[in-house]
Each structure stands twice: as structure tokens, then as C-alpha cells.
Structure 1
């Protein structure tokens, strides 16, 4: 991460929150998402805020949970870039690392477990210097960190990649408990899938059609099992001029992440996914900067999603879109006793019919 560019006039709400943006050859900061409000009276200083606890509640755990929720909402190539702080302290001293910066580094390590991104940054806005931003970037692969300047500039033109993917997934009762292992197979299928772009060299227009073909990953299923089928509407966002390979990677990452998120949401609402037939969570998109999505269960409306996005990202969303259709069904194993009953009933009916025909023939 050699350079950082921040959108001019970006509003900063609160003293602590997440940095959202686009990571590429150049890294662009597009949103500073304050942590969601809580019912507790919070301290004024950043040092006290970072270490605030009330019973089982802690601000640091609250930020980690916030990052977990936002990570599932973002559509590629937007991602969590790190954490921002807003205070009067000079956290990036030249000679030594400020104790608060050490605490932020520890918090970023916890967020890294959620995002698995190579880089995460601590963006600090110094109140004494007119909220002039400066960043310290942590490299989790090479175990390095460096303070880098933050310049103002416009985000380049964004291209929206859309596709609809037919899906057929079968899960046995045993596999529901280890859904990540099953989705690893789905991951491999998506990686090997066929992706076609109109432009074979560069993504140049605003929208490109994408076609991805998949098949069911599970071969041998034990009864009872669950089948999910329908169309996934996948969307990704890339900067103009992005290579085809990077664009394909963004679309595939979106497909993989949305499947994991859907099953996770469904498991939260259903203690046992095989109890009854249910609709897979519908994904809807909010075309804002950053572009985000949300997952709605059957009883939820788009108003629930708009409120959720407002709480998590501080964005005022006016309209959301989505047109996915799923036709899930639950199959339950039929016991041997019940199977024999229907077989005997069919044989009995056949015998009765045969006797009736014989009687008619004799009487005739």
C-alpha cells in the first residue's frame, strides 16, 4: 500500500469507527463508518473509550462485531481498510509508538481474523491539526508497518459487474453442522466455472454481462437431506481499467461470500435446517458509495435493511434492489414401516381390482 487517497470533504462522526474503501494499485478511502450507537454513556477521551467496559460489554469487542457485520455487507472490491480515530493526541510520534497506537494495533489484529486482508490501516485525524489525516499501515504477511501520507482525490470511475447464477446445492443432515467444509467444494466449483466478459482485454464500460455455470457439489447424500435451488444475483464493483483476471476474481469472491453468509443467516434463524421448508435469505443491494448488500428473511422488508445499513455504516439509503428467487425444499427419510404400508396398500388395491374384473367376466 504505497499511497492512500481520501474522498474530499468526507465527514467524520464519532471518535472511533471503521475505514471503508477500495484496495488496488491505489487505495481509496470512501467512507468512515462510526461504530453503532449503544445505550451506555461513553467517556469523552479516546483512551478511556478504547478501554470502556460495562459488565460483559467492551468497546473493543463491539468494534470487532461491527467489523464482522460490515464485512458481510460489502460487495467487492469495497472492503474494510482498517480503523479510524479522531482525537487531540498525536498518535504517530517519530521516535516511539504511542500507547494508544499499540492498542489500535492489537485491535486491528483481531479484525484481521475477520477480514483476512493482507493490509489494515489505522487512520488518525488529529483535531489539533484541523483533522488532517495520516495513516499507519500494518502488513500482516510481512509483519511490517509504516506511516504513510493521505492525499485528497476523486475515486476513479467504477464499473458494476452483474450476473445471475443458477444454483443447486444439496446438504445432508450431517453436513449442516460443518457447512464450511461443504462450501469448500462450492468454492472449487466457482473457481473452475466459466466466466465470459464482452471485452476480452479490459473492463471499460459501466456494465458487463457475466455467465457462470455451476453444478451440485454434493455427490452422495444421506437421508434426510435439504435441497436449495434458484438464482443467485451476484454483483461486484471494480475500477475502470481493471484487468479481466481481477474482475473475474471479484465476481467469484462475491459468489463464495454470499453463499457462506446466506447459510450463516439461515442457521441463526433455524435451529435445525431440516425441520421444515424455508426460503433462503434474499440478498438486496444498495447502490451507494460504498456499494453494500443485506440479507432478508421471509418476514423482513426492505425497510429493515435500510435501517440496518444506516446503523452499521451511517449511510442514508433511499432505494434497494434485488430479484433473487429460491425454491428450497426439505426431503425427509421415509421409515421402512411406512414404506411397506404403502406397498401393501397398492398390492391390496390391485388384488381387489383383479377380483372385480374376474367377477365381471364370470357374470358376463
Structure 2
């Protein structure tokens, strides 16, 4: 590695770390100012608050990682251009492609760091961050996220179950129904206004129970105000929290998604978006680095201010499109793989175009 590579790489990493250390405390101060009243009202222990902000730091850094990286590269590359260091480097016979090498090395280090964070650190941080919010700040903990959530699952090759909503604390589900098919025809259907799990003997108690057995001529109907029985499913497992995918390590996330696919989960696109972003986020480090260097390597009349304005606009555009397409994948028919990778694809084309212009 030559002196010029060490010089640029050191500036790349140092500026990125400095940017993180500058903005994260600001984010913590803003978050404290918004939540301090509820923290005092709920008498939250200081240890829990300290753990929450540890998780908040990791969660926040991962969330705004593209903006931090982009602004840091824009900042120090603009300083190189304003000090005519880039002109001196290129005038010495070094090509623009060779000049880009330490930037790509820096992007590789940052992308590996982002991948490790996404696989090992972010899941635990996300769990701690969300659990604290829904336990102390929004009330009801995870149970509040389970309320009013309709769940329809396939629990076997020929059995389907529906639950209107499920309370995790009392282990009671409402508007319960189970349908069993023989081929394409309905064999029987069980319904109950509510169903309660009994942990002592692992049975279920159904209230206002009705079973309709479909016959060739007449249906057979059985009903009772209360009936105890055994099922092969777990009610708690029927209603995972909204943010459950964010809290799972990579290997567990793969298994969880396969299980949810077999059960016909309505949230499968949400889980797939979380999975694909673990890979798309590190790749964005290369794309954003190339765009930042291409935009800020030229000395402009507006100086660093103009470069930063352009950089902030592009960085927020990237984050905006990343969030928009993520929501589209979760709420519409847009394939999650396409939605997650489309911002990288579009900005990758922009990076190639800007890099060609910068070389000229």
C-alpha cells in the first residue's frame, strides 16, 4: 500500500467515525428531550435507560448508516479538492481509477462492518430498542402489538386456522376458527367466540363452541357453551410481534421465514425486506462512496458548501427511496427482492454516470 493510499484511507475511516460520534449524541439528546416526561412518569430504572440508549446507538447508527457515510466522504473529499490535493495527485500521473482505489478499500471495510453489525449486533439492539419503547413508552409491551391483529395460518397440509386477535398475557384468542379439508372439499369447521390455552395440561378451552361436519346430504352440527380439547398449534406462536424479524440472527431469520411461508403468514413480505436489507445495505457503501467522490472531487466556485448541499440532497434521496420501496414491498404486490435492491440499482447507474463525467 502506497503513502497516498494510507493517507486517503485514514481520512476516509477517520471522517466516517467522527461523523458517527458527532451525530449520535445529538440524536440521543433529542430522544431524551422527547421521552423524559414519560420516563419520569413511569419511574423507569436508570439501568434500563442506559441499556436502552446503548441499543439506541446501534439501532440509530445502522438506520442512518448511508447518510453518515455519504456525508463523511463528501466532506473530506471536498477538502482535498479545495486544497488542490486532488489536482496534485492526478497531475503526478495517477489515473482517476487509481485514485479511487483507497476509497474502494475504505468502502470494503465499512461494508464488512455494516454486514457484521446487521447479522450480530443489530438484532439484539432492535429487540432491546423496541421492547423498551412498547413496554415503557407506548404501554402494553409486546401485547399491544398483538391486539387487533388478524392472523390466518396454514398449520398442516389440510388444516387452516384463523384468530381475530390474541392476548399474550391471558393466552386468550377471540373469533377463532379451524377448517380441515379433504382434497378441495371442506371436511369440517370449528368456530368459537374465544379460546383459552391451559398451560397446566396443555389443553385448550373453547367458549360458544360449534363444529360443522360437512355431509353428502346434510351437515352434522355439534355445539356447546364450553369444550376442552387438544390442538397441535401454539397460540402464542400464531401471532409474532411486528418487529420479530429484526430481532433474529441471520440463521434463525432464515428458519423463521421458511416456517412463516408454510403457515401462510400475511407479514412474509415484511420479513423478507428485513432479510434482503442485511445484504443490500453493505453494497450501498460502494455505490454511495463512488457518487460522493464523483460529486466532490471537482473544485467548485461554491466550495464545500455546494458539495455538501448536493451530497445531502442525494443522501436523503437514497434513504427516501429505500424507505418508500420497503413500504411498497410490505403493503403491496411489489416483490421484496426488487423493492429492496431497486434503490441500489438506480443509484448504481447514477454512480457510473457521475464517475465517467468525473474522469473527463
TM range (shorter): under 0.3
TM-score w.r.t. length of structure 1: 0.21
| RCO comparison, higher one (Cα < 8 Å, 6+) | 2
Q: TM-score, normalised by structure 2?
A: 0.21
